């Protein structure tokens, strides 16, 4: 496996993902971890990531000496590369100007194994303000930018390799080749990480840990909880109790679909709770988005807890399974996101309240690996590749007060939009697509009659991580069909608008 040491770069997760993509399992730890408690021999190589620091900052962080002394191959990226040069006696200079974006670099030692498969000149992603002015002794330069800035270097004897650019970024054209060279050729890491392998191992681990005891899982209809259910089902079958709280604010038929799928394919016990009336009454008269989110989140937890407690009593449940994925693990270990933009509805804190032990079968997987695992287990592609859907569901897609009569209008419009997106073969090409209900009336003509009805907003987003995103530039013809069908087929809608704002400054959801 590869161990990635995170110095706070936005791109650190991409390093871990790149490594896994070329078949080498990877883990991420923070730079201030206690390395004496980590078994360094379990790793075949280390990466020192980039980060916002400058080596000249008073509190700039060094490279853990234990790693440097391990004798294992190390790749230093951006800040890592500057830090290595600085510690080895070179000179790093700060500049006011930040170099950001695609940059051409030229190899000066094209025969070096790190650059096997590269062209003499290639595009890479640069993102830095400091640069290495003088290389320390015992190091060779491997590449420069067209501006003459050192772009890559390596130690003559020790297995230290450093790049000023970001090979983990898609914008570095031969990034994958660099990872293959570093991991497979230089570090000789076995390329044995694959989903069938993970599946087999994880099923063994789960069986061993759980034995003949019973597990509780909250099923939400989302990919993570479904894949968690599937792998637990495979490991322990009917020792699994899944509670599905239907708040009535899912997409049309979504609750039924999930239920039908689970019943047809799994041995687990499914406990479905229809709580739509409670949710609707709790939302009466509430307009404020944050208040709506809080109400739904709180009621969801209460409903789940009540059912969970019954199940725990009657079936002597020992474990609570959660669909936590690796990005959540890394984020919370590093202090989490900086600022609360919207209170996301999640169910942290449940294990303590229920006195259950936590099982997290997806804890080591990134989102696209969760999907790959789902596919490896034969779950329907349509379920596995589904766009994300927020916990509070349509609550936050009906602007202002959620009235019962708005829900079927929005569900119908949303179904048409998805249907057209699928027909155009574009569903997988966008990251998220949905309709929002605007309780704003405008005038139209339907047939020979004047209409004065509500508005549907269509939102389609292209994004890698949903932290930022751009509105999808869909062909006009597809948008036209969506608009025409919604106005013609959905009662009480006289206008459809397309959301052309990016995130930031807008968020993806409207509330
Ligand atoms: P925003 O609107 O914050 O959304 O740009 C970013 C992503 O998160 C989803 N989202 C949520 N997911 N619970 C969730 O599980 C929530 O409360 C929630 N709010 C937003 C949103 O759909 C998008 O994918």
pLDDT of 113 > 70? The answer is: yes
pLDDT digit string, tens, across residues 469-506: 999 999 999 999 999 999 999 999 999 999 999 999 99
Band of the pLDDT at 221, cuts 50, 70, 90?
Answer: confident
Phi/psi zone of residue 468: left (φ > 0), alpha (ψ -120 to 50 degrees), beta? beta
**In this model, does residue 63 exceed pLDDT 60?**
yes
Rounded to an integer, the average pLDDT of 149-174 is 96
* DSSP-derived 3-state class of residue 493: strand
Give yes or no: 345 in active site.
Answer: no
Task: pLDDT band for 350, please (50, 70, 90 cuts).
Answer: confident
Mean pLDDT of 340-368: 75
Beta strands in 177-291 (DSSP E): 214-219, 240-246, 269-274
pLDDT above 90: residue 333: no
221 belongs to an annotated ligand binding site:
yes
Residue with CA at minimum distance from ligand 1 atom 4:
508
360-363: long-range contacts, CB 8 A cutoff, minimum separation 24: 360/321, 360/322, 360/323, 360/324, 361/202, 361/206, 361/228, 361/231, 361/232, 361/321, 361/323, 362/224, 362/227, 362/228, 362/231, 362/323, 362/324, 362/325, 362/326, 363/324, 363/325, 363/326, 363/329
CB neighbour class for 242 (10 Å; exposed up to 12, middle 13-18, buried from 19): buried
As a whole number of angstroms, the distance between CA 437 and CA 332 comes to: 34
Q: 387: buried, middle or exposed (CB in 10 Å: 19+, 13-18, 0-12)?
A: middle
Question: Is 78 annotated as catalytic?
Answer: yes
pLDDT for position 1: 95
> What domains does the chain contain, in order, with CATH numbers?
2-186 (3.40.50.880), 195-384 (3.40.50.620), 398-498 (3.30.300.10)
What is the percent of the chain where pLDDT is above 70?
A: 96
Q: Which of 86, 166, 174, 412 is catalytic?
A: 166
Helix (H) or strand (E) holding 81, with range, is helix 79-87
| 465 band by pLDDT with thresholds 50, 70 and 90 | confident
pLDDT at 101 over 80: yes
The pLDDT, as a whole number, for residue 335 is: 47
Per-residue pLDDT band at 345 (split at 50, 70, 90)? very low
166 is catalytic: yes
Give the per-residue pLDDT at 327. Answer: 83
Ligand 1 close to Cβ of residue 503 (< 6 A)? yes
Instruction: Enter the ipTM.
Output: 0.98
CA separation for the pair 48, 162 (Å, rounded): 9
pLDDT of residue 441: 97
Strand order in the sheet with 214-219: 269-274, 240-246, 214-219, 317-321, 357-359
**Catalytic option among 86, 168, 242, 511:** 168
Evaluate whether 139 touches 154 at the Cβ level (below 8 Å).
yes
* pLDDT band at residue 337 using 50, 70 and 90 as cut-offs: very low
């Amino acid at each position: 496996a590869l161990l990635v040491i995170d110095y706070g770069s936005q791109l650190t997760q991409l390093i871990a993902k790149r490594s896994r993509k070329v078949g080498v399992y990877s883990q991420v730890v923070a730079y201030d971890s206690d390395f004496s408690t980590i078994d360094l021999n379990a790793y075949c190589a280390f990466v020192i990531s980039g980060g916002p620091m400058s080596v000249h900052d008073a509190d700039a962080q060094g490279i853990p000496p234990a790693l440097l002394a391990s004798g294992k191959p190390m790749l230093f990226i951006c800040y890592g590369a500057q830090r290595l040069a600085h510690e080895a006696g070179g000179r790093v200079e700060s500049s006011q100007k930040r170099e950001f974006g695609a940059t051409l670099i030229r190899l000066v030692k094209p025969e070096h194994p790190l650059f096997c498969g590269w062209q003499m000149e290639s595009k890479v992603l640069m993102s830095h303000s400091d640069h290495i002015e003088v290389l320390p002794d015992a190091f060779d330069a491997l590449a420069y930018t067209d501006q003459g800035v050192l772009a890559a270097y390596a130690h003559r004897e020790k297995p230290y390799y450093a790049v000023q650019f970001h090979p983990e970024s898609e914008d570095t054209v031969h990034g994958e080749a660099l990872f293959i060279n570093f991991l497979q050729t230089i570090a000789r890491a076995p390329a044995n990480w694959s989903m069938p392998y993970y599946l087999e191992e994880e099923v063994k681990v789960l069986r061993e840990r759980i034995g003949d005891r019973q597990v509780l899982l909250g099923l939400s209809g989302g990919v993570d909880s479904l894949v968690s259910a599937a792998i637990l089902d495979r490991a322990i079958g009917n020792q699994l109790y899944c509670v599905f709280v239907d708040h009535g604010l899912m997409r049309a038929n979504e609750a039924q679909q999930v239920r039908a799928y689970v019943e047809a394919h799994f041995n687990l016990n499914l406990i479905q709770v229809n709580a739509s009336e409670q949710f609707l009454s709790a939302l009466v008269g509430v307009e404020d988005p944050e208040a709506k989110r809080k109400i739904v989140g709180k009621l969801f937890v209460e409903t789940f807890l009540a059912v969970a407690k019954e199940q725990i009593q009657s079936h002597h449940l020992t474990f609570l399974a959660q669909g936590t994925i690796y990005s959540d693990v890394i984020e919370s270990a590093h202090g989490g996101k900086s600022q609360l933009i919207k209170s996301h509805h999640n169910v942290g804190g449940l294990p303590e309240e229920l006195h259950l032990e936590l099982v997290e079968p997806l804890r080591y997987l990134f989102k696209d690996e969760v999907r790959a695992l789902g596919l490896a287990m034969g779950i329907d592609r349509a379920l596995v590749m589904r766009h994300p859907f927020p916990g509070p569901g349509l609550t936050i897609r009906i602007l202002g007060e959620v009235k019962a009569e708005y829900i079927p209008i929005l569900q119908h419009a949303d179904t048409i939009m998805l249907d057209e997106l699928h027909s155009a073969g574009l569903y997988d090409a966008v990251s998220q697509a949905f309709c929002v209900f605007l309780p704003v009336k405008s005038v139209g003509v339907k047939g020979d009659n004047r209409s004065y009805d509500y508005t549907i907003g269509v939102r389609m987003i292209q994004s890698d991580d949903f932290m930022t995103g751009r509105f999808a530039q869909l062909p006009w013809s597809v948008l036209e069909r969506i608009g025409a069908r919604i106005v013609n087929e959905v009662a009480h809608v006289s206008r459809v608008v397309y959301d052309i704002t990016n995130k930031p400054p807008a968020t993806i959801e409207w509330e």
